[in-house]
Amino acid sequence: MIETYRGIVGANQLDHMGHMNVAWYASKFDEAAWHLFSVMGITIDYTRATSCGMAALEQNIKFLSEARAGELLVVRSRLLEVREKVVKYVHIMYRSDSMEEVASMETVAVHFNLEARKSCPLPQSIIAKCNKLLDEDR
């Protein structure tokens, strides 16, 4: 797994019950996704040069333990599958001190042309990087 996010639960991220609001889990997982995409070759330079990026099709979050203000969090990510236009990956959020799992999110994302507003095939170079990541994880 690749470390894709490291941060802290801020007091401004709590809901009225005193733990991190679900919107912040999604935000931290979203930041982690861009780090994973970068490892795959989908960087900001790639997006600017090709007018292509990634768009989430499906996300499933599991909340396992409440995160409270001041806790340090780390997200590790793993690519699960790559197809012509689609990648599937998982993020797992941990407390960085104990490595207790806090939450996980599995996502299906599509390679997307920003101008045409349609899905498009991933370049072979990116598919090759994804396959390398999958092989390393086996």
Confidence grade of residue 129 (pLDDT, cut at 50, 70, 90): very high
Q: Where are the alpha helices (DSSP H) in the chain?
A: 22-40, 44-50, 124-137
Q: Which residue, 32, 106, 38, is CA-closest to 73?
A: 32
Mean pLDDT of 103-132: 97
pLDDT of the residue at 32:
98
The whole-angstrom separation of Cα 31 and Cα 11 is 19
| Percent of the chain scoring above 90 in pLDDT | 99
Residue type, 70: G
Give residue 137's pLDDT band: very low, low, confident or very high (50, 70, 90).
confident
Question: With 90 as the cut, is the pLDDT of residue 97 above it?
Answer: yes
138 has pLDDT over 90: no
Residues 129 and 39: beta-carbon distance below 8 Å: yes
| 101, 64 Cβ separation under 8 angstroms | yes
Determine the average pLDDT of the residues in 76-89.
Answer: 98
CATH value at residue 21: 3.10.129.10
CA-CA distance, 8 to 24, in Å (whole number)?
11
The tally of domains found in the chain comes to 1
Residue 98 confidence (pLDDT): 97
64 phi, psi to nearest 5 deg: -115, -30
Per-residue pLDDT, averaged over 98-123, amounts to: 98
pTM over 0.75: yes
Domain membership of residue 90 as a residue range: 2-137
For the chain, what is the mean pLDDT? 97
In tens, the pLDDT along 14-60 reads 999 999 999 999 999 999 999 999 999 999 999 999 999 999 999 99
